[in-house]
Amino acid sequence: MNIGVIKAYTLKEFKELMRTRMIFTVYALPLTILVLFGYGIRMEVTHSRILIIDNDQSKLSGELVEKFKHSKYFNTTEANISESKALKLIKQAKKDAIIIIPTSFEKRLIKAQKIDIAIFIDGSFPNRAHTIENYIESVIINYLQNYAQRYPTFSTNIIAINPRSLFNQAMRDEDAIVPGLIGLALFVSPAILTALLIVKEKEKGTIFNFYASSINKEDFLIAKLIPPFLLHSVSVLILFLIAVYLFRVPFRGSFALYWFSSELYVLVSLSVGLLVSIVTRSQIVALVLTVIITILPGFLYSGIILPISSMSRESYIEAHMFPVMYYNHIAYDTFLIGQGLSSKKIVLYLIILMGFACVLLNLGWFLLKKELKK
Protein backbone atom coordinates (compact mmCIF):
# COMPACT_ATOMS: atom_id res chain seq x y z
CA MET A 1 0.00 0.00 0.00
CA ASN A 2 1.36 3.31 -1.01
CA ILE A 3 -0.91 6.14 0.06
CA GLY A 4 0.70 8.72 -2.18
CA VAL A 5 0.27 6.60 -5.30
CA ILE A 6 -3.32 5.75 -4.44
CA LYS A 7 -4.09 9.40 -3.90
CA ALA A 8 -2.64 10.43 -7.21
CA TYR A 9 -4.33 7.63 -9.09
CA THR A 10 -7.67 8.29 -7.43
CA LEU A 11 -7.46 11.92 -8.40
CA LYS A 12 -6.78 10.96 -11.99
CA GLU A 13 -9.74 8.55 -12.04
CA PHE A 14 -12.00 11.12 -10.49
CA LYS A 15 -11.08 13.76 -13.04
CA GLU A 16 -11.64 11.30 -15.84
CA LEU A 17 -15.13 10.51 -14.60
CA MET A 18 -15.95 14.18 -14.25
CA ARG A 19 -14.69 15.07 -17.70
CA THR A 20 -16.96 12.58 -19.42
CA ARG A 21 -19.86 14.45 -17.86
CA MET A 22 -20.72 11.29 -16.00
CA ILE A 23 -21.78 13.16 -12.92
CA PHE A 24 -25.26 13.65 -14.35
CA THR A 25 -25.93 10.10 -15.44
CA VAL A 26 -24.47 8.58 -12.29
CA TYR A 27 -27.37 9.95 -10.29
CA ALA A 28 -29.95 9.92 -13.06
CA LEU A 29 -30.04 6.14 -13.18
CA PRO A 30 -30.85 5.31 -9.53
CA LEU A 31 -33.23 8.26 -9.38
CA THR A 32 -35.12 7.15 -12.46
CA ILE A 33 -35.39 3.59 -11.20
CA LEU A 34 -36.77 4.65 -7.85
CA VAL A 35 -39.18 7.33 -9.02
CA LEU A 36 -40.53 5.70 -12.18
CA PHE A 37 -40.79 2.22 -10.74
CA GLY A 38 -42.16 3.52 -7.48
CA TYR A 39 -45.07 5.04 -9.35
CA GLY A 40 -45.27 2.37 -12.02
CA ILE A 41 -45.13 -1.00 -10.33
CA ARG A 42 -48.29 -2.03 -8.60
CA MET A 43 -49.20 -5.18 -6.76
CA GLU A 44 -52.88 -4.49 -6.87
CA VAL A 45 -54.51 -4.87 -10.22
CA THR A 46 -56.89 -1.94 -10.48
CA HIS A 47 -59.06 -0.88 -13.38
CA SER A 48 -59.31 -4.32 -14.95
CA ARG A 49 -61.47 -4.03 -18.00
CA ILE A 50 -64.45 -6.29 -17.54
CA LEU A 51 -67.55 -6.70 -19.61
CA ILE A 52 -70.81 -7.80 -18.08
CA ILE A 53 -73.47 -9.35 -20.21
CA ASP A 54 -76.63 -9.10 -18.20
CA ASN A 55 -79.10 -11.42 -19.83
CA ASP A 56 -81.61 -10.99 -17.05
CA GLN A 57 -82.00 -7.19 -16.96
CA SER A 58 -83.82 -7.43 -13.65
CA LYS A 59 -83.56 -5.37 -10.48
CA LEU A 60 -81.37 -7.87 -8.65
CA SER A 61 -79.01 -8.45 -11.53
CA GLY A 62 -78.78 -4.68 -11.93
CA GLU A 63 -77.68 -4.43 -8.32
CA LEU A 64 -74.92 -6.92 -8.96
CA VAL A 65 -73.74 -4.95 -11.97
CA GLU A 66 -73.74 -1.80 -9.85
CA LYS A 67 -71.47 -3.52 -7.35
CA PHE A 68 -68.94 -4.09 -10.08
CA LYS A 69 -69.27 -0.58 -11.36
CA HIS A 70 -68.52 0.88 -7.95
CA SER A 71 -65.39 -1.14 -7.39
CA LYS A 72 -62.08 0.57 -8.06
CA TYR A 73 -60.72 -2.74 -9.21
CA PHE A 74 -62.84 -2.79 -12.32
CA ASN A 75 -63.61 -0.63 -15.27
CA THR A 76 -66.96 -2.13 -15.99
CA THR A 77 -68.88 -1.91 -19.20
CA GLU A 78 -72.21 -3.46 -19.84
CA ALA A 79 -73.23 -4.74 -23.21
CA ASN A 80 -75.80 -6.91 -24.78
CA ILE A 81 -73.82 -8.92 -27.24
CA SER A 82 -73.49 -12.57 -27.99
CA GLU A 83 -71.04 -14.71 -26.12
CA SER A 84 -68.90 -15.37 -29.18
CA LYS A 85 -68.64 -11.67 -29.89
CA ALA A 86 -67.59 -11.06 -26.31
CA LEU A 87 -64.97 -13.77 -26.51
CA LYS A 88 -63.61 -12.10 -29.58
CA LEU A 89 -63.07 -8.95 -27.51
CA ILE A 90 -60.89 -10.96 -25.14
CA LYS A 91 -59.03 -12.37 -28.09
CA GLN A 92 -58.30 -8.89 -29.30
CA ALA A 93 -57.07 -8.00 -25.80
CA LYS A 94 -59.74 -5.36 -25.39
CA LYS A 95 -61.25 -6.92 -22.27
CA ASP A 96 -59.69 -8.84 -19.41
CA ALA A 97 -62.75 -10.71 -18.27
CA ILE A 98 -66.35 -11.32 -19.18
CA ILE A 99 -69.14 -12.05 -16.74
CA ILE A 100 -72.33 -13.55 -18.04
CA ILE A 101 -75.41 -13.30 -15.85
CA PRO A 102 -78.00 -15.91 -16.85
CA THR A 103 -81.54 -15.02 -17.96
CA SER A 104 -83.41 -16.27 -14.92
CA PHE A 105 -81.04 -14.79 -12.37
CA GLU A 106 -83.62 -12.93 -10.29
CA LYS A 107 -86.24 -15.65 -10.42
CA ARG A 108 -83.85 -18.35 -9.36
CA LEU A 109 -82.26 -16.22 -6.66
CA ILE A 110 -85.60 -15.57 -5.03
CA LYS A 111 -86.53 -19.21 -5.20
CA ALA A 112 -83.03 -20.22 -4.06
CA GLN A 113 -82.46 -22.37 -7.07
CA LYS A 114 -79.10 -23.12 -8.59
CA ILE A 115 -77.64 -20.21 -10.56
CA ASP A 116 -74.80 -20.46 -13.00
CA ILE A 117 -72.71 -17.38 -13.54
CA ALA A 118 -70.19 -17.89 -16.29
CA ILE A 119 -66.93 -16.01 -16.15
CA PHE A 120 -64.27 -15.93 -18.82
CA ILE A 121 -60.86 -14.58 -17.91
CA ASP A 122 -57.93 -13.88 -20.16
CA GLY A 123 -55.25 -16.20 -18.82
CA SER A 124 -52.34 -14.81 -20.82
CA PHE A 125 -50.89 -13.17 -17.73
CA PRO A 126 -51.43 -15.92 -15.13
CA ASN A 127 -50.88 -13.85 -12.03
CA ARG A 128 -53.12 -11.08 -13.25
CA ALA A 129 -55.80 -13.61 -14.18
CA HIS A 130 -55.61 -15.11 -10.73
CA THR A 131 -56.01 -11.76 -9.03
CA ILE A 132 -58.93 -10.76 -11.24
CA GLU A 133 -60.59 -14.10 -10.59
CA ASN A 134 -60.38 -13.57 -6.85
CA TYR A 135 -61.70 -10.04 -7.07
CA ILE A 136 -64.68 -11.10 -9.16
CA GLU A 137 -65.49 -13.98 -6.88
CA SER A 138 -65.39 -11.88 -3.79
CA VAL A 139 -67.63 -9.21 -5.32
CA ILE A 140 -70.23 -11.83 -6.18
CA ILE A 141 -70.06 -13.61 -2.83
CA ASN A 142 -70.17 -10.31 -1.04
CA TYR A 143 -73.27 -9.39 -2.99
CA LEU A 144 -74.93 -12.64 -2.06
CA GLN A 145 -74.02 -12.24 1.59
CA ASN A 146 -75.65 -8.85 1.64
CA TYR A 147 -78.64 -10.24 -0.14
CA ALA A 148 -78.94 -13.10 2.33
CA GLN A 149 -78.76 -10.73 5.27
CA ARG A 150 -81.62 -8.68 3.93
CA TYR A 151 -83.83 -11.73 3.75
CA PRO A 152 -83.59 -13.63 7.02
CA THR A 153 -85.28 -16.64 5.47
CA PHE A 154 -81.84 -17.63 4.31
CA SER A 155 -80.24 -18.73 7.50
CA THR A 156 -76.60 -18.12 6.97
CA ASN A 157 -73.43 -18.60 8.83
CA ILE A 158 -71.22 -15.77 7.80
CA ILE A 159 -67.56 -15.63 8.56
CA ALA A 160 -65.79 -12.40 7.90
CA ILE A 161 -62.08 -11.99 7.64
CA ASN A 162 -60.51 -9.07 9.36
CA PRO A 163 -57.07 -8.69 7.87
CA ARG A 164 -54.40 -6.75 9.67
CA SER A 165 -51.14 -6.25 7.93
CA LEU A 166 -48.22 -5.90 10.22
CA PHE A 167 -45.52 -3.38 9.24
CA ASN A 168 -47.58 -2.00 6.40
CA GLN A 169 -50.97 -1.31 7.88
CA ALA A 170 -52.55 0.33 4.91
CA MET A 171 -51.12 -2.25 2.53
CA ARG A 172 -49.64 0.64 0.61
CA ASP A 173 -47.92 -0.49 -2.53
CA GLU A 174 -45.23 2.14 -2.08
CA ASP A 175 -44.20 0.69 1.27
CA ALA A 176 -43.94 -2.74 -0.18
CA ILE A 177 -42.05 -1.75 -3.31
CA VAL A 178 -39.80 1.22 -2.67
CA PRO A 179 -37.33 -0.39 -0.21
CA GLY A 180 -36.87 -3.22 -2.69
CA LEU A 181 -36.25 -0.75 -5.49
CA ILE A 182 -33.38 0.77 -3.54
CA GLY A 183 -31.75 -2.64 -3.64
CA LEU A 184 -32.26 -2.80 -7.40
CA ALA A 185 -30.98 0.73 -8.02
CA LEU A 186 -27.89 0.27 -5.87
CA PHE A 187 -27.08 -2.97 -7.64
CA VAL A 188 -27.45 -1.85 -11.23
CA SER A 189 -25.96 1.63 -11.27
CA PRO A 190 -22.68 1.03 -9.40
CA ALA A 191 -22.05 -2.12 -11.42
CA ILE A 192 -22.55 -0.39 -14.77
CA LEU A 193 -20.28 2.45 -13.67
CA THR A 194 -17.29 0.24 -12.89
CA ALA A 195 -17.90 -2.33 -15.62
CA LEU A 196 -15.97 -0.35 -18.21
CA LEU A 197 -13.28 1.20 -16.01
CA ILE A 198 -10.53 -1.33 -16.63
CA VAL A 199 -11.60 -2.87 -19.93
CA LYS A 200 -11.68 0.63 -21.42
CA GLU A 201 -8.00 0.98 -20.67
CA LYS A 202 -7.35 -2.43 -22.18
CA GLU A 203 -9.02 -1.45 -25.42
CA LYS A 204 -7.34 1.93 -25.64
CA GLY A 205 -3.97 0.63 -24.59
CA THR A 206 -3.58 2.95 -21.63
CA ILE A 207 -3.46 -0.17 -19.47
CA PHE A 208 0.25 -0.21 -20.33
CA ASN A 209 0.70 2.70 -17.94
CA PHE A 210 -0.39 0.32 -15.23
CA TYR A 211 1.76 -2.53 -16.52
CA ALA A 212 4.82 -0.34 -16.67
CA SER A 213 4.41 1.76 -13.55
CA SER A 214 5.35 0.69 -10.08
CA ILE A 215 1.79 0.72 -8.74
CA ASN A 216 0.63 -2.48 -7.02
CA LYS A 217 -2.41 -4.44 -8.11
CA GLU A 218 -4.24 -3.70 -4.87
CA ASP A 219 -3.42 0.00 -5.02
CA PHE A 220 -4.70 0.08 -8.57
CA LEU A 221 -7.98 -1.58 -7.59
CA ILE A 222 -8.45 0.69 -4.60
CA ALA A 223 -7.82 3.76 -6.71
CA LYS A 224 -10.33 2.51 -9.29
CA LEU A 225 -12.96 1.85 -6.62
CA ILE A 226 -12.74 5.02 -4.54
CA PRO A 227 -14.29 7.56 -6.97
CA PRO A 228 -17.37 5.48 -7.89
CA PHE A 229 -17.74 4.49 -4.26
CA LEU A 230 -17.80 8.11 -3.13
CA LEU A 231 -20.19 9.08 -5.89
CA HIS A 232 -22.60 6.33 -4.98
CA SER A 233 -22.37 6.99 -1.26
CA VAL A 234 -24.28 10.12 -2.11
CA SER A 235 -26.94 8.10 -3.96
CA VAL A 236 -27.47 6.05 -0.81
CA LEU A 237 -28.55 9.25 0.88
CA ILE A 238 -30.55 10.57 -2.08
CA LEU A 239 -32.51 7.33 -2.41
CA PHE A 240 -33.24 7.36 1.30
CA LEU A 241 -34.59 10.90 1.13
CA ILE A 242 -36.79 10.12 -1.86
CA ALA A 243 -38.18 7.01 -0.21
CA VAL A 244 -39.01 8.81 3.00
CA TYR A 245 -40.13 12.19 1.72
CA LEU A 246 -41.53 11.56 -1.74
CA PHE A 247 -43.05 8.12 -1.24
CA ARG A 248 -43.65 8.59 2.49
CA VAL A 249 -42.37 5.16 3.39
CA PRO A 250 -42.05 4.89 7.15
CA PHE A 251 -38.55 4.43 8.52
CA ARG A 252 -38.59 2.38 11.68
CA GLY A 253 -35.08 1.00 11.93
CA SER A 254 -31.74 2.53 12.64
CA PHE A 255 -30.27 4.85 10.08
CA ALA A 256 -26.78 3.65 10.98
CA LEU A 257 -27.66 0.13 9.93
CA TYR A 258 -29.21 1.36 6.70
CA TRP A 259 -26.17 3.48 5.97
CA PHE A 260 -23.66 0.78 6.78
CA SER A 261 -25.39 -2.02 4.92
CA SER A 262 -26.00 0.20 1.88
CA GLU A 263 -22.36 1.24 1.68
CA LEU A 264 -21.36 -2.38 1.98
CA TYR A 265 -23.82 -3.32 -0.73
CA VAL A 266 -22.58 -0.55 -3.02
CA LEU A 267 -19.09 -1.97 -2.55
CA VAL A 268 -20.37 -5.42 -3.56
CA SER A 269 -22.07 -4.02 -6.67
CA LEU A 270 -18.96 -2.06 -7.61
CA SER A 271 -16.87 -5.21 -7.28
CA VAL A 272 -19.26 -7.10 -9.54
CA GLY A 273 -18.73 -4.49 -12.24
CA LEU A 274 -14.99 -4.37 -11.62
CA LEU A 275 -14.72 -8.14 -11.88
CA VAL A 276 -16.53 -8.06 -15.22
CA SER A 277 -14.12 -5.35 -16.32
CA ILE A 278 -11.16 -7.49 -15.33
CA VAL A 279 -12.22 -10.71 -17.04
CA THR A 280 -13.46 -9.26 -20.32
CA ARG A 281 -11.32 -8.05 -23.17
CA SER A 282 -13.61 -5.66 -25.00
CA GLN A 283 -15.99 -3.00 -23.81
CA ILE A 284 -18.90 -4.47 -25.74
CA VAL A 285 -18.67 -7.81 -23.97
CA ALA A 286 -18.25 -6.09 -20.62
CA LEU A 287 -21.29 -3.92 -21.22
CA VAL A 288 -23.57 -6.70 -22.45
CA LEU A 289 -22.43 -9.07 -19.71
CA THR A 290 -23.05 -6.50 -16.98
CA VAL A 291 -26.50 -5.70 -18.33
CA ILE A 292 -27.43 -9.36 -18.47
CA ILE A 293 -26.22 -10.20 -14.97
CA THR A 294 -27.59 -7.11 -13.28
CA ILE A 295 -30.90 -5.90 -14.72
CA LEU A 296 -32.99 -9.04 -14.81
CA PRO A 297 -31.60 -10.84 -11.74
CA GLY A 298 -31.61 -7.56 -9.84
CA PHE A 299 -35.32 -7.27 -10.46
CA LEU A 300 -36.41 -10.91 -10.35
CA TYR A 301 -34.42 -11.87 -7.27
CA SER A 302 -35.07 -8.72 -5.33
CA GLY A 303 -38.22 -10.13 -3.81
CA ILE A 304 -40.27 -7.15 -4.97
CA ILE A 305 -42.70 -9.09 -7.10
CA LEU A 306 -41.62 -12.67 -6.73
CA PRO A 307 -41.04 -13.82 -3.18
CA ILE A 308 -37.84 -15.87 -2.93
CA SER A 309 -39.47 -18.41 -0.62
CA SER A 310 -41.86 -19.53 -3.31
CA MET A 311 -39.24 -20.01 -5.97
CA SER A 312 -38.12 -23.47 -6.77
CA ARG A 313 -35.12 -25.32 -8.07
CA GLU A 314 -32.80 -23.37 -10.36
CA SER A 315 -34.32 -20.01 -9.58
CA TYR A 316 -34.11 -20.57 -5.85
CA ILE A 317 -30.43 -21.41 -6.11
CA GLU A 318 -29.71 -18.54 -8.45
CA ALA A 319 -31.51 -16.10 -6.16
CA HIS A 320 -29.08 -17.00 -3.40
CA MET A 321 -26.13 -16.38 -5.68
CA PHE A 322 -26.97 -12.69 -6.09
CA PRO A 323 -26.44 -10.14 -3.33
CA VAL A 324 -29.79 -8.44 -3.97
CA MET A 325 -31.96 -10.65 -1.77
CA TYR A 326 -29.67 -10.30 1.25
CA TYR A 327 -29.53 -6.55 1.03
CA ASN A 328 -33.24 -6.24 0.40
CA HIS A 329 -34.03 -8.23 3.50
CA ILE A 330 -32.06 -5.68 5.49
CA ALA A 331 -33.57 -2.75 3.59
CA TYR A 332 -37.13 -3.92 4.25
CA ASP A 333 -36.27 -4.43 7.88
CA THR A 334 -34.77 -0.98 8.38
CA PHE A 335 -37.70 0.70 6.66
CA LEU A 336 -40.74 -1.24 7.76
CA ILE A 337 -39.90 -3.45 10.72
CA GLY A 338 -36.98 -2.05 12.63
CA GLN A 339 -35.62 -5.15 14.32
CA GLY A 340 -32.06 -4.21 13.45
CA LEU A 341 -29.19 -6.25 14.71
CA SER A 342 -31.32 -8.07 17.27
CA SER A 343 -32.39 -10.39 14.49
CA LYS A 344 -29.92 -13.17 13.81
CA LYS A 345 -30.90 -13.32 10.19
CA ILE A 346 -29.87 -9.72 9.58
CA VAL A 347 -26.49 -10.28 11.20
CA LEU A 348 -26.04 -13.36 9.06
CA TYR A 349 -26.99 -11.47 5.91
CA LEU A 350 -24.58 -8.66 6.76
CA ILE A 351 -21.82 -11.24 7.10
CA ILE A 352 -22.83 -12.78 3.78
CA LEU A 353 -22.64 -9.35 2.12
CA MET A 354 -19.17 -8.85 3.57
CA GLY A 355 -18.28 -12.27 2.24
CA PHE A 356 -19.49 -11.21 -1.22
CA ALA A 357 -17.29 -8.11 -1.12
CA CYS A 358 -14.22 -10.06 0.07
CA VAL A 359 -14.59 -12.88 -2.43
CA LEU A 360 -15.30 -10.63 -5.41
CA LEU A 361 -12.45 -8.23 -4.65
CA ASN A 362 -9.97 -11.01 -4.01
CA LEU A 363 -11.05 -12.78 -7.17
CA GLY A 364 -10.58 -9.53 -9.07
CA TRP A 365 -7.16 -9.06 -7.52
CA PHE A 366 -6.22 -12.61 -8.43
CA LEU A 367 -7.42 -12.36 -12.03
CA LEU A 368 -5.96 -8.93 -12.70
CA LYS A 369 -2.66 -9.49 -14.48
CA LYS A 370 0.15 -7.00 -14.41
CA GLU A 371 1.54 -8.09 -17.71
CA LEU A 372 0.44 -8.48 -21.28
CA LYS A 373 -1.80 -11.47 -21.79
CA LYS A 374 -0.95 -13.66 -24.70
Partner 1 sequence: MIKAFLSIVAKELLDFLRSWGLVAVVLYSFTVDVYIAGSGMQIEPKNVSVGYVDYTGGGISQKILFHLHEPEFVAPKRFLSQKQLSEAIFNKEIMVGIVFDQDFEKNYRKHKKATIDVLLDATAASQSFITLSYLQNIVLNFSKLNIPIDIDIHKLFNPNSDERYFMALVELLSVVTMLSILLPAVVFVREKEEGTWDIMLLMPVDPKIVILAKSLSQIIIIMAGVVITVGLVLFSTFNIPMNGSFFAFLLLTFFYAFTSAGIGLFIASVSEGMMQTAQLSMLIMMPLIFLSGAWTPVYAMHPILEKLSLLSPLRYYIEGCESIFFRGTSFIDLWQYFAGVLVLGSVLYWYGFRKIGKLF
- Which of positions 280-309 make contact with partner 1 (CB under 8 A)? 280-285, 287-292, 295-296, 299-300, 303, 305-307, 309
Given the rule CB under 8 A, which of 124-132, 219-227, 257-265, 358-366 is the region that contacts partner 1?
124-132
Q: Which of 76, 23, 29, 25 is nearest to 54 (CA)?
A: 76
104 makes contact with partner 1 (CB under 8 A): no
Residue among 345, 359, 369, 370 that touches partner 1 (CB under 8 A): 345
77, containing H or E segment: strand 74-78
Answer for which of 7, 11, 15, 39 binds partner 1 (CB under 8 A) is 39
Residue 205, classified by CB atoms within 10 Å of its CB into exposed (0-12), middle (13-18) or buried (19+), is exposed
| Binding of residue 205 to partner 1 (CB under 8 A) | no
Strand, coil or helix: 100 = strand
Neighbours of 326 (CB within 10 A): 24
Site for partner 1 in 3-22 (CB under 8 A): 20-22
Helix, coil or strand: residue 53: strand
Sign of the CA dihedral 138, 141, 145, 151? positive
* 8 A C-beta contact, residue 195 and residue 279: no
Residue with smaller CB distance to partner 1, 1 or 160: 160
- State yes or no: residue 113 binds partner 1 (CB under 8 A): yes
Measured in whole angstroms, how far is the alpha carbon of residue 281 from the centre of its chain? 32
Segment 208 to 227, residues that bind partner 1, using CB under 8 A: none
- For position 244 contacting partner 1 by CB under 8 A, the verdict is no
Round to whole Å and give the CA distance between 172 and 56: 38
Nearer to partner 1, 7 or 42 (CB): 42
Q: Which of positions 127-166 make contact with partner 1 (CB under 8 A)? A: 127-131, 133-134, 136-138, 140-141, 144-145, 147-148, 154-166
269 lies in the binding site for partner 1 (CB under 8 A): no
Binding residues for partner 1 restricted to 305-334, rule: CB under 8 A? 305-307, 309-316, 318, 332
* Minimum CB distance to partner 1 smaller for 216 or for 343: 343
d(CA 364, CA 9): 18
